[in-house]
Structure 1
Amino acid sequence: MEEDYYLYTRKLFHRLSYVYDLTEIVLSGTRTKVADFIDAKEGSKILDVATGTGKQVFEFAKRGYEVVGIDLSESMLRLAVRNNRYNNANFILVDATKLPFKEEYFDISYISLALHEMPLSIRQEVLQEMGRVTRTDGTIFIIDYATSPKSRLARYFVHYIARVFESKYYPEFIHSDLGSLLKRQEMEVVEELSVIYGIFKIIKCVRR
């Protein structure tokens, strides 16, 4: 399963890298909302897991934070590095299940619109690693599809439309219990924010 995931993901995002930034037409305002919601303290060290082309990293970098973006896709990271204009933003090609950072190195870590691209086994390992490299008094943020949207429009989009263009791991994710998974990783949800008509959710967690 894991070997299939890595091969599938690298091929998928190699193809998507050429058009991925078109999603910014929809997500550009959400990048600002994420940074505002996270509201990091001055001097914070932030980790962006599955950074893609680095758009969320740039939003934090321009606010003066030290940010590291990591990703499995060389094609996506190539675009992130090419567009990087910040000395306080760095990108590393690395597997999120084996983060090359010491324990409690970051004040904040987050993963944006990527958990739904992973099978459960990988999802668990990624969250475990995020917890390991985040300070005990730090925070972890999950930005992804709302698995139980409140509005009828959002439910229809999440359960029917999104699965047309998302990866093969999406259907399992959208029917999974993300809250229970976070609890198993000793992450306590302390705040949530719905964005883009309730289709997506920003979840703030602390390590227990």
Structure 2
Amino acid sequence: MSAGKSGLRERKKQLTYRTVSDVAISMFLERGFDKVSVAEVAAAAEISKPTLFRYFPAKEDLVLHRFADHEDEAARVVSGRPDGVSPLDALRHHFLDGLDRRDPVTGLCDVPPVLAFHRLLYGTPSLVARLYAYQGRSEAALARALDPGIPVAARLAAGQIVAVLRILAEENWRRIDAGESAGQVHGDAVAAAGLAFVQLEGGLFTPPPG
């Protein structure tokens, strides 16, 4: 198969992922996650139920597909950091930049569609449980980027970092969900991120040499 045909097939596949996920999320937001069946999603997306399951092994993945691009984000930041920049410094700058951009992954986003999505996610126990599987894969990718030669130490470090990023995002989301704006939370979010990375540097995490 030529590279052109392979690339076209991959683009069509990604378009299907996104289209079906968007259809499902729209239905879940309107009626509730537990009140919409996979068969109904498949019918609305005009695909068969077996085809849907080839793309999304579990119903929860229809929602969490939006996190798929972020699974290896921390790993990519570490792997792509400039010479002389430590893994933690690279991750700190990336997170602070995300706060400034109101990146939904940081929890600091009060755009109505994002708020609705987060309420769906955090208000559905099965989605929260499934999210931990995504975070586990994020930890594994980050561990490989930190130091593939020392797997246990790297996994411990990655676990700490991913947990810190999750807690920071959840705290930002909690305050916005309670009624504060992203602008009101931003200053405290930056301060909390600074504190978190200082704690990591102070003993909870030792960057691998090099």
Is the shorter-chain TM-score for this pair beyond 0.5, marking a shared fold? no
* Structure with higher helix content: 2
**TM bin (shorter chain):** under 0.3
Q: What TM-score, normalized to structure 2?
A: 0.26
* Structure with higher strand content: 1
